[in-house]
Amino acid sequence: MTLETMPFAKALNAGLRKAMEDDPRVLMMGEDIGKLGGVFRITEHLQRDFGEKRVLDTPLAESGIVGTAIGLAMAGFRPVIEIQFDGFVFPAFDQITTQLAKLTNRHEGAVSMPIVIRIPYGGHIGAVEHHQESPEAYFAHTPGLRVVSPSTPNDAYWMIQEAIASNDPIIFMEPKSRYWQKGEVEIEQSAAPLHASRVVRTGTDITLVGHGAMVTTLLQAAAIAEGEGTSCEVVDVRSLSPVDYGPILDSTRKTGRMVYAQEASGFTSVGSEIAATVMERAFYALEAPVLRVSGYDTPFPPAKLEGTFLPDADRILEAVDRSMAY
């Protein structure tokens, strides 16, 4: 086993590099991803090493970027698009939801859309409006799209390669607050398939479930709860569409309790869907209602208020206490 310790951002860069080395049909498009290497330097040095024909700096026109990628996919390429910030994806929303998501079905499977749309998302970086949002539910709600979100450097390295290798369009949600978080990366073998949920901490009293940046917060809450006598199992969802319910349901049936945490607003969210499904499919194993901890149902606030808006370990522990009190 070959392990390397690297930040999340570098792991993504390494995964993108490996995908480009393995398949000459892979090319990248986005605003400032070439010479600059992207705002977060995820594509750093890729244009230098693979050339301007495979790593393209585009105009500031997200709809045009996605539309061009659709044409390239039809021509046999495997485009990887970077949306510079989460809030910038909405000018491309029409292309993504009415064209990209539907073309394969429209052509009865005869046309594949092997396109990956990378979206840095979420808070905790003190940014301004349109630079800190959690739009994952829009895309998870859209049939024809797959939506995934890694939470560790190892998952970032492997999941980006697996997404690029897929013949389906994939929305690749990158928790930008974790770009600098370091972790071990297994260079030789993936830890789990692209669309698999995974237990990342075992426990016996309550199941904590989440995705993206929130997984780290859940692990922090679980460590605190352990010191207070409550054993928390933590499940990383990883794939938001489709959702792998097996590990989530198995864990919840074991503990009898579940809390879902997310940065996104709670109403009609990924957490809402997963909570409802667990209530339907594991009802008789539950000792308490499934609880949700989320961002508030307001627009994402200015940077000074993001600490109030975003769930932290204390808010998760409060939900744990409420669940354990039933």
Per-residue tokens: 181? 């978080």
- Tokens 């705002």 correspond to 39
Q: Could you tell me how far CA 29 lies from the centroid of its own chain?
A: 20
The neighbouring-strand residues paired with 116 are 80, 170
Please enumerate in sequence order all residues whose Cβ is within 8 A of that of 3, keeping only pairs 6 or more positions apart, or say none. 184, 185, 186, 187
Per-residue tokens: 228? 């207070």
Per-residue tokens: 35? 């010479």
**CA dist 152 → 283, 287, 318 (Å):** 31, 31, 25
Please enumerate in sequence order all residues whose Cβ is within 8 A of that of 88, keeping only pairs 6 or more positions apart, or say none. 62, 130
Look up residue 86 and give its DSSP letter.
Answer: G
Quote the CA–CA distance of 32 and 197 in Å, as a whole number. Answer: 33
Please list the active-site residues. Answer: 131
Please enumerate in sequence order all residues whose Cβ is within 8 A of that of 180, keeping only pairs 6 or more positions apart, or say none. 7, 8, 9
The neighbouring-strand residues paired with 239 are 148
Look up residue 41 and give its DSSP letter.
Answer: -
